Amino acid sequence: MTELTLPAAFADLAPWLDWALPTADGRQDRRLASTSDTLRRFYDAVLPRLEDILAEVDKHPLGQLPAALRPLYDIALSLAEVAPHIELYDGAVGVPYAFEEGRFIAVHGGEPTWSTPQPMMTPAP
Amino acid sequence: MNAEHRWLEAYPELGSGPISTEPYISPEWYEKEKEKIFSKVWLCVGRANELPRPGDYKVKRIEAANTSVIVMRGKDGQIRAFHNMCAHRGNTVVTENGQETYGRNRAGVITCRFHGWVYAADGALRSVPSQERFYSCFDKGDNGLAPIHLDTWEGFLFVNVAEKPEHSLAEFLGDYAEHFRGFPFEELDYGFTYRTELDCNWKVAHDAFAEAYHVDTIHAGSFPNVFSSGLQNVKLMGPHRTCAVCLTLDAKPTPVAGIANRIAGASLVSQRGKSMLPATINPDHRPDFAFELSVLFPNTLLHVSEGIWFTHQFWPLAHNRTLWEGRYYVKAPTSNAGRWAIEHAMTLQRNAWLEDTATMEDTQRAMQSRAKMQQHLQDDEILIRHGAIIVDQYVNA
Ligand code: FES
Ligand SMILES: [Fe+2]
């Protein structure tokens, strides 16, 4: 695997590159394997940069995100995965009082989100 | 008039007594449901736009009707349905890789893996390797795929496995079709699917989604402070039912949710206008309207809201086992930020569904203890009451 990098303007997020995960399943797994403290530090670090990240990725058409920006985008997607746990669940790494997450299958969960195929369908051969 | 009992007053024929738990736990009752409901009525198996090109197909297992269905678009653009069973020795023609299998054959044919019999998209048996070694009683013309009745409504594909359905799809849907006419399902075609197998009866799953009484408790995490003003506009339409779920939507959004809502408005708890809803839905333009919650009998819940629609389907696998599928649709994003915002809305919805499904297996286990053989429903749980009564009518017809 090649080393993931961020654009210079977002170098402050480098400590969070291991959250640059292209698939929904990957982001969910990392969140579940994380600690409450890490979720909070991740949230606190990325939230202030969220609007800038979204502005940066929107310089490119949907589905044509240059490879160099994908890690940055994936970090923002991880924030979408993590945010409810900080904003609503008091830092819990899992959804409180919920069904076993591992048993829920996301049909789209293994596809890279940036490429934005119609996520409902398994691509036909 | 007693405001607390308004649905009883509107639909006194449903009565107000407790409801038996027997239909949720009895294997014999389930056998009757398979025969008298799932093998008789129209069942929604997908959307036409899941099969955009000729030669696209989808196979959907329907264990409650003892079959799996091939839905395929032919070269003529027509979508047809067949039992997934080969006329040779009965193998599945399309090899399945789970509850739903998607595929495509450019030539518009499907080939049985076992011995290579080839069928056209209209079901005709096209070719049989070493055909000369079969005997004179074998006629290719009689050995196409076994067809299944298929019809469509608003882009939804319905099948009916009965040899001769008692009603056309239009008759079966009745007023339900009118109620949703004009909602832009087609435009909101960007969908996500989650699924799981639940150790509970399909009606336990249905019931857990068919009321808003649980919002304050079960969704205290994901949807806090959306104090429910309950149901509005309950409408019973033959075996189908619908209502509006109203929630107070003026809670200040959390920081990330606020950004996502501003970009996409793809979450149920973001406030949205009423521009795309048909006049039959939220007719009084209530500002606290959140979404229409409807049940398309027997096993599909269809919800619509501004810019969003979603379905739950409950496919019985046994009397105490159910395949649940949740699908959530919005308008396709046009920007990378829009895609991000949809991902956030979807994540929140997934979490709410994780909360919803949390009670179901516990409910089933407890019901199976037979410690209590009745359940008690309040006025706002009228969709559940109606569901129980309709199932009873079908089973005892
Ligand atoms: S069972 Fe299908 S070709 Fe033999
Ligand atoms: Fe719910």
Ligand at minimal distance from the CA of B269 is 2
For B194-253, the pLDDT digits (tens) are 999 999 999 999 999 999 999 889 988 888 877 777 899 999 999 999 999 998 876 788
Is the pLDDT confidence value at B180 over 70? yes
Is the pLDDT confidence value at B358 over 50? yes
B313 by DSSP, 3-state: which? strand
Is the pLDDT confidence value at B383 over 50? yes
Is the pLDDT confidence value at A71 over 90? yes
Which pLDDT value is given to residue A122? 46
Which pLDDT value is given to residue A121? 55
Tell whether A14 is within 8 A of chain B (Cβ): no
DSSP-derived secondary structure letter, A112 = B
**Which residue has 């290579």 as its token pair?**
B116
B38 by DSSP, 3-state: which? helix
Exposed / middle / buried, residue B271 (Cβ in 10 Å: 0-12, 13-18, 19+)? middle
Which pLDDT value is given to residue B351? 97
Residues 24-63 of A with CB under 8 A from B: 24, 47, 50-51, 54-55, 57-58, 60-62
CB B194 within 8 A of CB A105: yes
CB A116 within 8 A of CB A62: yes
CB B104 within 8 A of CB A124: yes
Q: Which residues of B touch A113 (CB under 8 A)?
A: 339, 343
Looking at the partner chain, which of B56, B195, B259 has a beta carbon nearest the beta carbon of A50? Answer: B259
Is the pLDDT confidence value at B42 over 70? yes
Kindly report the protein residue whose alpha carbon is nearest to atom 4 of ligand 1.
B115
For B139-174, the pLDDT digits (tens) are 999 999 999 999 999 999 999 999 999 999 999 999
What residues contact A48, with CB distance under 8 A and at least 6 apart? none
Which pLDDT value is given to residue A118? 64
Please compute the mean of the pLDDT values over residues A88-105 and round it to a whole number: 96
> Residue B343 corresponds to which tokens in the numbers above?
């991902």
Identify the weakest region by mean pLDDT among B72-86, B195-209, B276-290, B379-393.
B276-290
Ligand 1 pocket test: which of B82, B91, B109 has the largest number of ligand atoms within 8 Å of its C-beta?
B91
Test B221 with A57 for CB contact under 8 angstroms: no
Identify the weakest region by mean pLDDT among B39-43, B60-64, B77-81, B216-220.
B216-220
Please name the helix (run of DSSP H) or strand (run of DSSP E) that holds residue B174, with its range, or none: none
Atom of ligand 1 nearest to the CA of B91: 1
Test B336 with A98 for CB contact under 8 angstroms: no
Per-residue confidence band for B268, with pLDDT thresholds at 50, 70 and 90 = low
> What pTM did the predictor assign?
0.95
For chain B, percent of residues with pLDDT exceeding 70:
97
Distance in angstroms (rounded) separating the CA atoms of residues B312 and A1: 39
Q: Which residues of B touch A105 (CB under 8 A)?
A: 194-196
Atom of ligand 1 nearest to the CA of B117: 3
Is the pLDDT confidence value at B271 over 60? no
CA nearest B34: which of B4, B66, B81? B66
Sequential DSSP letters for B191-243: EEEEEEEESS-HHHHHHHHS-STTHHHHTTTTSTT--EEEEEEEEEETTEEEE
